[in-house]
Every structure is written in structure tokens, then in C-alpha cells.
Amino acid sequence: MSVWLRYLSGADIDTLGITHADIVGAVEDVLGDHGRGRVVFEPRTHLVPDNGGKGHFNVLRGSLTDKHVSGVKVVGDFVANFERGLPSEMALILLLDPDTGMPRAIVDGTMITEARTGAMTAVGAKYLARPDSRVLGHIGARGTAWWNVVLLDETFDFAEIRVTSKRPESREDFGRRLSEHLGKDVRVCASAEETLDGADILVEASRLTEPEALVRKEYLRPGTFLVPYGTISALELTILDAVDKVVVDNWRESRSGDHRFGALRPQVSAGLLTAETMHAEIGEIVAGTKPGRENDDERILFWHRGLSTTDLAVAHLILTRAEAADVGTMLPYR
């Protein structure tokens, strides 16, 4: 019996007409599946090569029961890739048949990684931010940052967008591209304080190599929504003193993998964030089993590390479209 699998490059994916609404919808749908127990979700692992600290790989695994697909994503996290003109995060996703174990597709996961991260931020904001949020403050200018800002603005139509990052050339270019795309002014700031203080929605997507307290308690006014997800913590250790609710994507993932990686890992390690002090997982909120925002004064923090299931949901959407359009390269497996 001949077995073939479909290879979908980034260029192939670009031809399929996948919309922002498609991606956000796929992510929100699979989060509901999480809340209803309709996924198999394995812990992420890290592969840290002996490369002098240049970067590491994340290996994410999962299975979607109702969509009848399993898969694995391997994504690199190499901060200095900009020096080579490469994305800092490049990924491949292998989709598998859960009944036979046969491979169905190899999919370029770079755009998927960026888009599903932005979609997770947007879905979190739908349930946890004030609907009248008018000011966005965003730290970071990597690929996921673009999707954060664009997808959030499609929901809230901000009156003011502030952005910053460590490198002036990076933040200036990011602000210019966003302004051209969104058709509105984007304020490029020189510091985290200028970017975040007084914002309604605060997103931290920094690329630190060592912990640094970029996000401080005093920036969190009543009614604010904070999303930190940088690999290395950029939060003041006592940030949770100023937070009314903490929501995570998955509590087990909040504690898994290398202890150095994760925006709130210092708070977890210090016992400041526990299963008892956490409010909910986002899937529980999307599924309706726990409440999201309950009043306009709540200060809510949503920490997402990245769920393999969201990668698989978007990759499965792409594969379904590709099969219907006969897009991609068929490769002989055996």
C-alpha cells in the first residue's frame, strides 16, 4: 500500500485565503474543547543544544478528539536570528492520523505559531478585557507581536496604540508597519513605562535573555488586562499583589519544562502563584464553566505559554483547505 503525505510550505499557505477570523475562530473553538475535555494534551519539552546559548527548541504534542487529528510541533526560539535575516521562531508541524499513526502532512508552522499566539491574546481579551478598552500598550516587536496588535485592534479599534522594544530600529520599523496596515497612528515609545502606564490592555512579548522587571505593579490601574508571555520573565516579582484574577492557558504547562522559561515561573517557584490562587484556565472560561471578567474594576492577568492544540487546530484548518484546493506537494512516505 502506498502512503503519501502533503507538504505545505509558507507560500502554499499564503494561497489558501485563510482569514484572521478563521484563525481566531479555530483557536477559540479548540479552547472550548479544552474546557470540555475533548483534547489530549501532552507536556511540552525543551531541547537545549550545546550552542553557547544561541537558542533552544520547544517540542509540543497533542491530539484533537473531535477533529480526529494528532500532531507534533517543533519550534526554535533563537533570539539573535534577526542578525541573519531570519525569524526568531521557525516551526514545523507534523499532522498524524490518530487511528493508524500514519503521517498526513508536514506544515510550515512559522506563521501558525505567530498567528495562534496573537489569536490566543485576542480570545483572552474577548473574555477578560473591558469591552470599552481604548489604549493598548505593547512591549516587543517579534513576529507574534504583529498578530497581537492587529487582532486586538480588530476587536477594540483602539484610540491609542503604543509600542516599544529593546532595539530602536526594531520598534521604529514595527510602529511604521503597523501604522500603514491599520491606517492609524501608532506611538513608538522609548521605555516600558511610557508604553504601559495608563494603558487599558498591556501585552508583554519581550525577548529578554535575563529577567528584568519591565512590567510593574503601578502600571496596573483598575480595569486593566495584562498579557505577559515572554520566554524570560519581564515582571516585577510582586506583580500579583496588584492583580485580582490570574488566568492561564493550562496550569500543568505553567509548571512544566525548564524552570528558566515562562513569564510567571519566578512567581510559581516562589509559591506566589498556585493552583489555589489561580482563577481559571482559559478553556474553562470559553466553555462557560468558570466566569471571565465580572466587573469593570477587575485587574486581570492572562498568562499563555502556548498550547500544542491551538497549533494543531490552525494547521488542521489549513490542511482541510489545502486538500479541498489540491494545494501543496505530495511526498511519498512508503
235's grid cell: 515582571
The answer to whether 228 and 263 are in contact (CB under 8 A) is yes
The answer to whether 308 and 40 are in contact (CB under 8 A) is no
Is the predicted pLDDT of residue 258 greater than 70, yes or no? no
Confidence of residue 1 (pLDDT cuts 50, 70, 90): confident
The whole-angstrom separation of Cα 194 and Cα 222 is 18
For residue 39, give the 3-state DSSP assignment: strand
193's grid cell: 513605562
Return the CATH fold of 114-306.
Rossmann fold (3.40.50)
Select from 144, 140, 93, 141 the least CA-distant residue to 119: 144
- For CA atoms 232, 234, 236, 241, the dihedral sign is negative
Confidence of residue 174 (pLDDT cuts 50, 70, 90): very high
> Which CATH number does 4-112+309-332 carry?
3.30.1780.10
Domain span(s) for CATH 3.40.50.720 in the chain: 114-306
Mean pLDDT taken over the chain = 93
The whole-angstrom separation of Cα 35 and Cα 274 is 19
pLDDT value at residue 89: 84
Q: How confident is the model over 269-283, as a mean pLDDT?
A: 94
Supply the angle between the helices 168-182 and 143-156 in degrees, to the nearest 10: 40
Contacts of 32-35 spanning 24+ positions with Cβ under 8 A: 32/283, 32/286, 32/287, 33/64, 33/65, 33/66, 33/283, 33/309, 34/250, 34/281, 34/282, 34/283, 34/286, 34/287, 34/307, 34/309, 35/281, 35/283, 35/284, 35/285, 35/286, 35/287, 35/288, 35/289
What is the strand order of the sheet 245-248 is part of? 187-188, 160-164, 135-139, 201-204, 225-228, 300-303, 245-248, 280-281
For residue 285, give the 3-state DSSP assignment: helix
260's grid cell: 528558566
The answer to whether 308 and 71 are in contact (CB under 8 A) is yes
pLDDT value at residue 117: 93
Select from 246, 219, 8 the least CA-distant residue to 104: 8
Tell me the whole-structure pTM to 2 decimals.
0.92
pLDDT value at residue 83: 87
318's grid cell: 489549513
Domain span(s) for CATH 3.30.1780.10 in the chain: 4-112+309-332
Please name every residue paired with 248 in a beta bridge, in sequence order, or none if there are none.
281, 303
Please name every residue paired with 77 in a beta bridge, in sequence order, or none if there are none.
56
pLDDT value at residue 257: 61
pLDDT value at residue 218: 94
Which residue is it, cell 525569524?
A: 87
Q: How confident is the model over 25-36, as a mean pLDDT?
A: 97
The whole-angstrom separation of Cα 279 and Cα 146 is 28
Planar angle of CA 66, 68, 73, nearest 5 degrees: 110
231's grid cell: 520566554
Q: What is the pLDDT of residues 129-168, one digit of tens each?
A: 999 999 999 999 987 899 999 999 999 999 999 999 988 8
pLDDT value at residue 234: 81
The more confidently predicted of residues 299 and 260 is: 299
pLDDT value at residue 259: 65
The answer to whether 334 and 3 are in contact (CB under 8 A) is yes
For residue 70, give the 3-state DSSP assignment: strand
Separation of CA 238 from chain center: 24
pLDDT value at residue 275: 93
The more confidently predicted of residues 129 and 231 is: 129
Confidence of residue 223 (pLDDT cuts 50, 70, 90): very high
pLDDT value at residue 260: 73
Residue 64, H or E segment: strand 56-64
pLDDT value at residue 159: 98
The whole-angstrom separation of Cα 196 and Cα 213 is 13
